[in-house]
């Protein structure tokens, strides 16, 4: 075979192989993302470990620091404009969703950090109390698990404006790894989506949900 034709044949073979690899990559991607808010939002789905629910109504969230995972509501989104990360040691994000049928608005604020300063429990609880913007001066309930310790508290805040009366219920905790210098400041809040309409917050149920999400955090070294 002439040298020119040899290189042409080799080039064509390479194109076929590249095309085949590209097709394989396409096959690895879902033909259609799940019809849920979390996956329909382009930024949010970057954090989802799988398209399958790991618990009814929840996906598995994976931090971009690779430091932890947690359950993530399928109807929630990660606010891109509020997201911050500094390598593997710091990540701050806000998660939000609503329940139109019950006129409820939800949010979760998370701040993950890794370092020896996370061992200073009192300082981190002070920062959490301040960040919860509820003028919280009360105590925290300590719950120990095999892999983590959770310092939990709750409060509420009047957020009425003009003739719109509303109350925001807050459930917050400092979640500390027992095996490393990792920790998460976690704030779960719920209030009426539209204060002009009727709204009933089932406080006990919301507390159970908040605690379930807090316990779902799993740290990775």
| Domain 36-219 classification at class level | alpha beta
The domain ranges of the chain are 1-31, 36-219
| The pLDDT of residue 106 is above 70 | yes
Segment (H or E) for 104: strand 104-114
Residues 6+ apart with CB under 8 A from 159: 166, 167, 168, 191
Mean pLDDT computed over 105-125: 97
Res. 160 pLDDT band, cuts 50 70 90 = confident
pLDDT given at position 132: 72
Q: What is the pLDDT of residues 46-80, one digit of tens each?
A: 999 999 999 999 999 999 999 999 999 999 999 99
| The pLDDT of residue 1 is above 50 | no
CA atoms lying within 13 Å on the CB side of residue 176? 22
Residue 45 DSSP code: G
Residue 23 DSSP code: H
CA atoms lying within 13 Å on the CB side of residue 58? 14
Share above pLDDT 70 across residues of the chain, in percent, rounded to a whole number: 83
3-state DSSP percent of the chain in helix, strand and coil, to 5 = 30, 35, 35
């Amino acid at each position: 075979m002439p040298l020119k034709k040899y290189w042409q044949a080799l080039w064509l073979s390479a194109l076929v192989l590249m095309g085949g690899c590209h097709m394989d990559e396409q096959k690895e991607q879902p033909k259609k993302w799940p019809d849920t808010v979390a996956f329909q939002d382009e930024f949010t789905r970057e954090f989802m470990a799988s398209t399958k629910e790991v618990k009814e109504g929840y996906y598995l969230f994976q931090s971009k620091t690779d430091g932890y995972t947690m359950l993530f509501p399928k109807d929630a989104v990660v606010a891109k404009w509020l997201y911050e990360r500094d390598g593997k040691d710091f990540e701050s994000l806000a998660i939000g969703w609503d329940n139109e049928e019950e006129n409820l608005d939800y949010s979760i604020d998370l701040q993950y950090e890794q370092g020896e300063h996370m061992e200073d429990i009192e300082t981190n609880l002070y920062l959490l109390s301040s960040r919860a913007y509820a003028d919280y001066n009360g105590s925290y309930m300590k719950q120990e698990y095999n892999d983590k310790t959770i310092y939990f508290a709750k409060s509420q805040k009047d957020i009425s404006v003009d003739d719109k009366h509303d109350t925001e219920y807050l459930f917050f905790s400092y979640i500390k790894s027992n095996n490393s210098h990792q920790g998460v400041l976690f704030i779960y809040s719920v209030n009426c989506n539209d204060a002009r309409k009727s709204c009933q917050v089932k406080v006990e149920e919301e507390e159970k949900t908040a605690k379930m999400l807090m316990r779902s955090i799993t740290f990775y070294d």
